[in-house]
């Protein structure tokens, strides 16, 4: 999914919004898909797995995806 979305010029937030999460849509913390996409995009750009990413952008996008509500983590 990330490879195709990045190639199409979508941001991680746009890609998340266009993704059908199917049976997983009702799981807690669905905004985590945005953070995962930020990580995947960084690795597609050549960053090593686990290398630092732009956390401010990732978290801002996660909050936006979450309807502007603060993030909670039930993981």
pTM across the whole model: 0.90
Contact 38, 54 (CB under 8 A): yes
Q: Which residue has tokens 């801002």?
A: 60
With pLDDT > 70 as the criterion, what percentage of the chain qualifies? 97
Structure-block tokens of residue 14:
């746009």
Percent helix, strand and coil across the chain, each to the nearest 5: 55, 0, 45
pLDDT score of 75: 63
Kindly give the residue spans of alpha helices, DSSP state H, lying in 1-75.
Answer: 2-7, 12-18, 32-44, 55-65
Q: What is the mean pLDDT of residues 22-50?
A: 93
């Amino acid at each position: 999914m990330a490879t195709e979305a990045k190639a199409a010029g979508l941001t991680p937030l746009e890609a998340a919004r266009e993704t059908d999460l199917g049976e997983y849509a009702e799981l807690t913390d669905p905004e985590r898909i945005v953070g995962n996409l930020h990580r995947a995009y960084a690795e597609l750009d050549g960053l090593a797995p686990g290398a630092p990413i732009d956390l401010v952008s990732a978290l801002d996008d996660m909050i936006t995806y979450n309807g502007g509500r603060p993030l909670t983590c039930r993981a």
